[in-house]
Amino acid sequence: MDRMAGQISATHGRLHPADDPFDRRILNVGDGHRLYIEQCGNPEGRPVLVLHGGPGGGCSPFMRRFFDPAHFRIVLFDQRGCGRSRPTASVEANTTQHLVADIERIRADLDIPAWLLFGGSWGATLALAYAEAQPDHVTGLVLRGVFLGRQRELDWFYGGGAARFFPDLWARFQDPIPEAERHDMIGAYHRRLFSEDAGRQGRYALPWLMWENALAGLQSAPVSHAPAEYARAFARLENHYFSNQCFLEEGQLLRDRHRIEHLPAVIVQGRYDMVCPPGTAHELAEGWPGCELRIIPASGHALSEPRISSELVRVMDTIRDDDLRDGSASAGSA
């Protein structure tokens, strides 16, 4: 989830100044996939990995601006099939387990002992999956708009839950699908997004995108257009993951939380998040000693929500300040 992740307004004065990458590279991870990776900020700073939303989203220059570039070594990458990674929109060898392995390969390629994870929505899902698989290589987590990939969460968004608040937009989402197939909207869109007809794929990609985008922010206007290839890639990849329950066992991320409960975490969650309602974040935080849940008033799901973006900058600035007080600002520091 999280189509809005790259659309932060440049007018948000609370964000850090834009910083160009000091390193860009393409990493061949096998299975025909080549990943785009960039590093920004301080090459000797505290490493932080930014995980974009979707599945299917991709990185944006605005995602660099939550971090003080003088302090953090900021690593971003486009996940398989996304953004500048190739091949575009490919679902071959594209599962959560592949992405977790990719993250570990990136860490080794960049010679980073351990890093802080920063991710929202699907990026939060992936951060948790990686941290639970590689807890020794994680120093902490900063999460937003928590999504745990469970069936109940998919049912909320694609099975009529959110539709009770947005009946007009839900009707628009359902409209391209014959009434007989509307009991399973993920499956109905899957059959069309994975049709052999590329034109048909494109026609169904935009309605898929419009439904999620319309609910992402409290004041967001529904998107009526998007670059065709972006829409196709986003819709196909997200639908591929949701058709397969995100390649996670039901409840897996909560079940295995004990593997990361020694790590510090902060969750920034919009009070009126209609994409990933706050109950999920509360479940994740409850009983986790080092986890702080911050419910943000008058805010929805998107990274572009003003109070959400401001709070995330505040979290990262606090981490920076704590590092400086502890004298742990050197390369690779935890």
| Residues 128 and 40 placed together within one structural domain of the fold | yes
CA distances from 156 to 150, 181, 210, 259, 274 (A): 10, 18, 17, 28, 9
| Residues 204 and 138 placed together within one structural domain of the fold | no
Helix count and strand count (H, E) for the chain: 10, 8
Is 326 known to be catalytic?
no
pLDDT of residue 330: 45
The residue ranges of DSSP E strands in 6-129, in sequence order, are 23-30, 33-41, 46-51, 72-77, 115-120
pLDDT of residue 228: 87
At 241-252, the pLDDT tens digits run: 999 999 999 999
At 186-203, the pLDDT tens digits run: 999 999 999 999 889 999
Task: Report the pLDDT averaged over residues 66-73.
Answer: 98
Non-local (6+) Cβ contacts of 327 within 8 A are none
Task: Report the pLDDT averaged over residues 313-328.
Answer: 94
pLDDT at 264 over 90: yes
Catalytic residue (choose from 19, 68, 102, 273): 273
| Residues 36 and 81 placed together within one structural domain of the fold | yes
pLDDT at 177 over 70: yes
At 221-244, the pLDDT tens digits run: 555 678 888 999 999 999 999 999
Catalytic residue (choose from 33, 98, 190, 301): 301
pLDDT at 332 over 90: no
pLDDT of residue 9: 43
Is 121 known to be catalytic?
yes
Are the CB atoms for 120 and 53 separated by under 8 Å? Answer: yes
Percent of the chain whose predicted confidence (pLDDT) is above 70: 93
| Residues 98 and 195 placed together within one structural domain of the fold | no
pLDDT at 271 over 90: yes
HSE at residue 117, side-chain half, CA atoms within 13 A, is: 34
Residue 334 lies in a domain: no
Catalytic residue (choose from 85, 121, 220, 309): 121
Domain that holds residue 270: 3-150+247-326
pLDDT of residue 328: 60
pLDDT of residue 110: 98
At 102-136, the pLDDT tens digits run: 999 999 999 999 999 999 999 999 999 999 999 99
Is 109 known to be catalytic?
no
Please report which confidence band the pLDDT of residue 81 belongs to, taking 50, 70 and 90 as the band edges. very high
| Residues 79 and 108 placed together within one structural domain of the fold | yes
Q: What is the mean pLDDT of the chain?
A: 93
pLDDT at 255 over 80: yes
Residue with structure tokens 């807890």? 135
pLDDT of residue 327: 82
Residue 332 lies in a domain: no
Residue 331 lies in a domain: no
At 22-52, the pLDDT tens digits run: 999 999 999 999 999 999 999 999 999 999 9
| Residues 109 and 19 placed together within one structural domain of the fold | yes
| Residues 202 and 269 placed together within one structural domain of the fold | no
Number of structural domains the chain divides into: 2
Residue with structure tokens 């670059």? 227
| Residues 238 and 117 placed together within one structural domain of the fold | no
Listed residues 246, 278, 298: the one ending a domain: 246
Task: Report the pLDDT averaged over residues 169-184.
Answer: 97
Task: Report the pLDDT averaged over residues 264-279.
Answer: 98
pLDDT of residue 220: 56
Task: Report the pLDDT averaged over residues 131-142.
Answer: 98
pLDDT at 164 over 50: yes
